[in-house]
Amino acid sequence: MTEYVNMRFPADTGYISAIRLAVSGIAGKMDYNLDEIEDLKSCVAESCLLLLCGQECDGLVLDIETGRPLKCRIGAQGAKPAPGTGECGEFNEEISRLMIEALSEHADFLEENGILKAISFEK
């Protein structure tokens, strides 16, 4: 049976570990193996960095559809351009995108007018 999980988080990189933990717990419940769980955690962390670094937003929304594949969508509420990366330091957008594409079965980056609005992936 497919279940749907929805969580909201402040727009703060300090919450990435909590988001990773949530995805890990749900994937564990779905009997994903350790390697698959680590891939999902990496994908969700890189997605958060993409949405929080180089642009501003009001918050993050995590939507998960359970099952095989596990489908994740991380959206940025109120995303808008920002002058710098702030607390993100040496963040590299290209590497984050490549990691998500390499570690997931399918990745989609939703952009509007040059602003990244959401990232979806499944594993």
Domain that holds residue 92: 4-122
Tokens of 17: 């570990």
CA–CA gap between residue 66 and residue 97 (Å, rounded): 23
Note the pLDDT of residue 86: 57
Burial class (CB in 10 A: 0-12, 13-18, 19+), 64: buried
Q: Is 39 left (phi over 0), alpha (psi -120 to 50) or beta?
A: alpha
CATH label of the domain that carries residue 12: 3.30.565.10
pLDDT tens string 27-37: 999 999 999 99
pLDDT tens string 39-50: 999 999 999 999
Least confident residue range of 73-77, 78-82, 92-96, 111-115: 78-82
Note the pLDDT of residue 84: 58
Span 40-69, mean pLDDT? 95
Q: What's the total number of domains in the chain?
A: 1
Least confident residue range of 31-45, 75-89, 109-123: 75-89
Q: Backbone phi, then psi, for 107, in 5-degree steps?
A: -130, 140
- Where residue 92 falls among pLDDT bands split at 50, 70, 90? confident
Note the pLDDT of residue 91: 78
For the chain, the average pLDDT equals 93
Strands (E), the chain: 4-10, 55-56, 59-65, 71-77, 80-81, 106-112, 115-122
